[in-house]
């Protein structure tokens, strides 16, 4: 049994505790907070009653070292770096659910997160935590940069096709719809019920922080710089992401190769389902699960490729993937605590 800590008490922290309640090799022993020190976590999140009775402790390194084998850093950007700098030398593995280690270029981090990175030398050390693409690297590292929710939904369908030279690396359009939990638990006027209900809106058009993260990983897959545009939208649901990606077949590539490549890459994966022809993903099918559903439309005559993916933003888009990564880091079966279907209806 490995002992783990959680730093942060937002939605992703609660989701970690929900999932860890069904994990028999990871034991959460502490949860650290800023605003809720002294409160029981099941008072903050009553759904955890009977499954976690941890009391929120002050966010201090002393409350982790000597107690934990690994830590989930479920913090806003800019707050994970200093903690990781102290935890890693103490032999504590870290999975950062924030953005501090996702971008390999410190200048891009400063541009999009408006903060100077405190340890740019650590960016090379961190492994980008998409296990389906970087499994062997995740197994060997002590520091994982857990991907963003939008990037997870966009990168997984596209990366194998770019790597195989099936779709063009230019003119890619990524359109994503997310539930409100993607904005976190902190109260904001733009996320109030009356602002969100019965409406849909685009936001961060051309400037969203996940754009460079997606471009970075797709460029790695393609072996050259991709040209793409990413637009997120907020929809009136609690959780889930539906991403529709538009691309074009490379000269000489055939529509049938799109399915061949994706099924060849993901056919044996535990958490990725390449759906049969004619079946288009629905966020309800993956609700509460660590699954990714991918639907495909490809046409030889027009050269068009449309990829639709669905994930739960709090599970495969955050906490479920974080546990999947830590399982690999600790030599535990990758699907431990995560092998279950979505909740529908």
| Residues with catalytic function | 149
Distance CA 341, CA 288 (A): 8
Given a contact cutoff of 8 angstroms between Cβ atoms, the answer to whether 112 and 209 are in contact is yes
Q: Within the chain, how many helices (H) and strands (E) appear?
A: 10, 14
Provide CB contacts within 8 A for 245, sequence distance 6+.
154, 157, 158, 172, 173, 174, 175, 306, 307, 308, 309
Distances (CA, A) of 25 to 2, 64, 140: 6, 19, 19
**What does DSSP assign to residue 115?**
S
Provide CB contacts within 8 A for 301, sequence distance 6+.
none
Q: Quote the radius of gyration of the chain (alpha carbons, Å).
A: 20
Distance CA 112, CA 209 (A): 6
Longest dimension (CA), the chain: 63
Do strands 304-311 and 241-248 pair parallel, antiparallel, or not at all (unpaired)? Answer: antiparallel
Residue count of the chain? 345
């Amino acid at each position: 049994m490995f002992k783990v800590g959680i730093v942060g008490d937002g939605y992703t922290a609660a989701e970690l505790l929900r999932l860890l309640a069904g994990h028999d090799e990871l034991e959460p022993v502490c949860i650290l907070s800023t605003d809720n020190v002294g409160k029981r976590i099941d008072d903050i999140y009553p759904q955890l009653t009977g499954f976690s009775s941890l009391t929120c402790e002050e966010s201090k390194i002393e409350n982790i070292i000597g107690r934990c084998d690994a830590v989930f850093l479920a913090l806003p950007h800019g707050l994970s770096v200093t903690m990781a700098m102290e935890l890693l030398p103490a032999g504590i593995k870290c999975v950062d659910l924030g953005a501090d280690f996702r971008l390999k270029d410190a200048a891009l981090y400063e541009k999009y997160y408006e903060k100077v990175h405190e340890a740019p030398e650590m960016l090379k050390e961190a492994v980008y935590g998409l296990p389906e693409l970087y499994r062997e690297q995740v197994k060997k590292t002590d520091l994982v940069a857990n991907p963003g929710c939008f990037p997870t939904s966009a990168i997984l369908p596209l990366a194998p096709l770019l790597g195989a030279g099936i779709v063009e690396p230019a003119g890619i359009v990524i359109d994503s719809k997310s539930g409100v939990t993607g904005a976190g638990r902190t109260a904001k006027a733009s996320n109030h019920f009356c602002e969100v209900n019965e409406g849909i809106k685009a936001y961060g058009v051309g400037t969203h922080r996940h754009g460079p993260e997606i471009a970075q990983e797709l460029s790695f897959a393609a072996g050259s710089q991709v040209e793409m545009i990413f637009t997120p939208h907020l929809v009136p649901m609690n959780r889930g992401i539906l991403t529709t990606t538009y691309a074009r077949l490379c000269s000489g590539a055939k529509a049938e190769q799109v399915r061949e490549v994706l099924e060849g890459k993901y056919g044996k994966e535990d958490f990725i389902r390449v759906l049969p022809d004619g079946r288009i993903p629905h966020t309800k099918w993956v609700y509460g699960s660590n699954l990714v559903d991918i639907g495909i439309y490809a046409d030889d005559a027009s050269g068009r490729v449309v990829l639709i993916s669905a994930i739960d933003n709090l599970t495969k888009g955050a906490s479920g993937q974080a546990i999947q990564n830590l399982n690999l880091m600790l030599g535990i079966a990758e699907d431990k605590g995560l092998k279950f279907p979505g909740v529908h209806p």
